[in-house]
A and B are shown apart, each in its own frame.
Chain A
Amino acid sequence: MSAANETVSAGGARTARYFIYAALIILALVYLLPLYVMLSTSLKSLDEIRGGDMLAPPRDPSIAAWVRAWGEACIGVSCVGIKGYFWNSIKMVVPAVLVSTLLGALNGYVLTKWRFPGHKLVFGMMLFACFIPFQAVLIPMARVLGTFGLSNSTTGLVIVHVIYGLGFTTLFFRNYYEAFPDELVKAAMIDGAGFFRIFWRILLPSSGPIIVVTIIYQFTNIWNDFLFGVSFSSGTSSPMTVALNNLVASSTGVKEYNVDMAAAVFAALPTLFVYVVAGRYFVRGLMAGAVKG
Chain B
Amino acid sequence: MAEPTMVGAGRSGQAAAHLILVLGAVVIAFPIWYVFVASTHSLQTILRPPLPMLPGSEGIANYSEALGGGINRIGGVSVGRLLWNTAFVATAIAVGKILISITSAYAIVFFRFPLRMVFFWLIFITLMLPVEVRILPTYKVMVDLGLIDTYAGLILPLIASATATLLFRQFFMTIPNELLEAARVDGAGPWRFFKDILLPLSATNIAALFVILFIYGWTQYLWPLLVTNSNSMNTIVIALRKMISFADADTPWHLVMVTCVLAILPPILVVVLMQRWFVKGLVETEK
Query: Does B associate with A?
Result: no
Interface residues, chain A, with chain B CB atoms under 8 Å away: none
Interface residues, chain B, with chain A CB atoms under 8 Å away: none
